[in-house]
Amino acid sequence: MSDNNDHNPLSRRKFLGNSSAALVAIAGMQVAAGAQETTPIRSRDHHLVNELEPQPKNAALDAQNPSSNFSPVTDAGGQPPFKYPFSFSHKRIEGGGWTRQVTVRDMPMSKKMAGVQMRLIKGGVRELHWHVGAEWAFMISGSARITAVDQKGRGFVEDINEGDLWIFPGGIPHSIQGLGPDGAMFLLVFDDGNFNEFETFLLTDWLHHTMPEVLAKNFDVPESTFAKVPPKELFIFERDLPRPLAEEKNAVAAGTGTVPNSFAFFTSKMAPTKVTKGGEVKIVDVTNFPASNIAAAIVTLKPGGLRELHWHPNEDEWQYYVKGSGRMTVFAAGGRARTMDFQAGDVGYIDRSVPHFVENTGTEDLVFLEVFPTPNYEDISLAEWLAHTPSRLVDQHLGTGEDFLNKIQKKEAVITPQ
């Protein structure tokens, strides 16, 4: 019986020969692929030909934003920018100081909160005014006299110093005046992303747009009383320093008393909520500042310190970087992740429940604010989540070994190292 394979073009001998050649070819491709895999495509100093940037560029901006210029390999893109520098904002300069703002119009993702930087010289006054949204404030430097009157006619006057806070609920009329020797620099945060500092309810503007005969009738005085009302808003202007604090406190309390819960909070005198080797945090919300409907954390990270991986389940987070430099990675659902660098004067924004971390990448302390449009501060840390989930289940996900998981602290670190 003849072997059919002898007459078949794909005889056994040819098949084996062809198979061997194919295997050699496949092996060659695997070696080539392996060689490609071992060829580096990234370098620490970005000198490789595929990393070079021969075109003209903004070298100063690149130097400030290395995590955007050459992102970490863990970044996946797809996450919109969550940073906006106050340096990009228009500065309105007046005789008594200046101001500028970052709102949803500048930073589209900042839907729920807006921020204002303001500088008042010694005697500089942010005129009597009010607005619909609540105003939360942090004194960056210097000191100021603040005043307010609530809906029951109860007065409030206080002096605020560096590191202290205040809150003015929406609709409450108030003022701010810089004190000596160098006035005040402060940050204002509003629970409305569309807030506009240049369109508030101003005392002078209102009276200027009210007929003199109506003003006279309202106060039962001659029309001439209002002859010197300014023809336009004062906004920020310079005047003499206020009278002694005790004297003004007594005066505003006449007849109705003072507000039941102070609008001021002396954070500079507060003991930290948490202290570790990596830094400290002070948490201020309705539990220790009853007048406030805005929660906040003041975070200080030492060089190399980390605000641990976490998220906030109850509200968006608006950040302000007071001093130092750092980086933040934000991870969003769908595998989107991005890292951005921050310096003093920058604003950051993270949507509710989106995980992130902040790391001090500089040589001095990094101080930043976390602000939330809610009375209560809440967060969930990655470490605390894993520490209180059955270790076998977590190990089945991560493959880290249960020994590692069992050694995780049962209470969140907040700042590492501990």
Number of structural domains (the chain) is 4
Token pair 């400030």: residue = 64
**Is 59 domain-assigned?**
no
- Clarify whether residues 363 and 220 are in a common domain: no
The annotation status of 129 as a binding-site residue, yes or no, is yes
> Which residue, 187, 94, 158, 109, is CA-closest to 354?
109
Q: What does the pLDDT average to over 314-324?
A: 98
- Annotated catalytic sites, by residue? 370
Written as six digits, the tokens of 88 are 């990009």
The annotation status of 7 as a binding-site residue, yes or no, is no
Whether residue 362 contacts residue 322, with contact meaning beta carbons closer than 8 Å, is answered with no
Q: What does the pLDDT average to over 251-273?
A: 97
Instruction: Indicate the pairing of strand 201-202 with strand 380-381.
Output: unpaired
Question: 309: how many CB neighbours lie within 10 A of its CB?
Answer: 16
**Is 79 domain-assigned?**
no
Contacts of 155 (CB under 8 A, 6+ apart): 147, 148, 149, 251, 252, 253, 256, 257, 258, 259
- Clarify whether residues 250 and 146 are in a common domain: yes
In a 3-state reduction of DSSP, which class is residue 407?
A: coil
pLDDT, greater one: 94 or 52: 94
Is the confidence at residue 26, as pLDDT, over 50?
no
Is the confidence at residue 77, as pLDDT, over 70?
yes
- Clarify whether residues 128 and 249 are in a common domain: yes
> Which residue, 98, 50, 139, 54, is CA-closest to 320?
139
3-state secondary structure 401-418: CHHHHHCCCCCCCCEECC
pLDDT digits (tens, 9 = 90+) for 100-148: 999 999 999 999 999 999 999 999 999 999 999 999 999 999 999 999 9
Of 237, 265, 293, the position where a domain reaches its end is 265
Q: How high does pLDDT run on average in the chain? A: 92
Cα–Cα separations (whole angstroms), residue 343 to 117, 205, 328, 372: 15, 37, 11, 21
Whether residue 85 contacts residue 346, with contact meaning beta carbons closer than 8 Å, is answered with yes
Is the confidence at residue 381, as pLDDT, over 50?
yes
- Clarify whether residues 362 and 414 are in a common domain: no
Residues spanned by the domain of 21:
4-38
Whether residue 309 contacts residue 382, with contact meaning beta carbons closer than 8 Å, is answered with yes
DSSP-assigned states of every residue in 237-284: EE-PPPPPHHHHHHHHTTTT-B-SS-SEE-GGGSPPSEEETTEEEEEE
The confidence score (pLDDT) of residue 28 equals 53
* pLDDT level of residue 30 (50, 70, 90 thresholds): low
- Clarify whether residues 257 and 283 are in a common domain: no
- Clarify whether residues 194 and 251 are in a common domain: yes
Q: What does the pLDDT average to over 160-180?
A: 97
> Which residue, 293, 197, 236, is CA-closest to 97?
236
**Is 56 domain-assigned?**
no
The annotation status of 174 as a binding-site residue, yes or no, is yes
Q: What does the pLDDT average to over 79-95?
A: 96
The annotation status of 47 as a binding-site residue, yes or no, is no
Written as six digits, the tokens of 260 are 């039941």
Could you give the CA distance from residue 192 to residue 186 in angstroms, rounded to a whole number?
Answer: 18
> Which residue, 136, 132, 138, 173, is CA-closest to 292?
136
Is the confidence at residue 227, as pLDDT, over 70?
yes
Q: The CATH number of the domain where 203 resides is what? A: 2.60.120.10
Q: What does the pLDDT average to over 377-389?
A: 98
- Clarify whether residues 8 and 96 are in a common domain: no
* pLDDT level of residue 6 (50, 70, 90 thresholds): very low
The annotation status of 131 as a binding-site residue, yes or no, is yes
**Is 199 domain-assigned?**
yes
- Clarify whether residues 147 and 240 are in a common domain: yes
- Clarify whether residues 114 and 219 are in a common domain: yes
Above pLDDT 70, what percent of the chain? 91
Burial of 181 (0-12, 13-18, 19+ CB in 10 A): exposed
Bridge-partner residues for 339, per DSSP?
329
**Is 26 domain-assigned?**
yes
Above pLDDT 90, what percent of the chain? 84
Overall size of the chain counted in residues = 418
The confidence score (pLDDT) of residue 5 equals 46
Residue 413 Cα to chain centre, angstroms: 20
Q: What does the pLDDT average to over 213-224?
A: 98
Whether residue 94 contacts residue 236, with contact meaning beta carbons closer than 8 Å, is answered with yes
Q: What does the pLDDT average to over 371-386?
A: 98
The annotation status of 90 as a binding-site residue, yes or no, is no
**Is 243 domain-assigned?**
yes
- Clarify whether residues 149 and 229 are in a common domain: yes
- The least confident of 7-21, 125-139, 275-289, 374-388 is 7-21
Q: What does the pLDDT average to over 224-240?
A: 97
**Is 323 domain-assigned?**
yes
Number of H helices, E strands in the chain: 10, 25
- Clarify whether residues 124 and 250 are in a common domain: yes
Is the confidence at residue 214, as pLDDT, over 90?
yes
Q: Which value, to the nearest 10 degrees, does the dihedral of the CA atoms of residues 401, 405, 406, 412 take?
A: 170
- Clarify whether residues 223 and 236 are in a common domain: yes
**Is 43 domain-assigned?**
no
Cα–Cα separations (whole angstroms), residue 400 to 163, 169, 391: 42, 48, 10
Output the CA torsion sign for 70, 115, 358, 384: negative
Is the confidence at residue 190, as pLDDT, over 80?
yes
The confidence score (pLDDT) of residue 304 equals 97
pLDDT, greater one: 91 or 53: 91
Cα–Cα separations (whole angstroms), residue 39 to 25, 35, 42, 43, 52: 21, 6, 9, 11, 16
Is the confidence at residue 376, as pLDDT, over 80?
yes
The annotation status of 310 as a binding-site residue, yes or no, is yes
Is the confidence at residue 33, as pLDDT, over 80?
no
* pLDDT level of residue 31 (50, 70, 90 thresholds): very low
In a 3-state reduction of DSSP, which class is residue 320?
A: strand
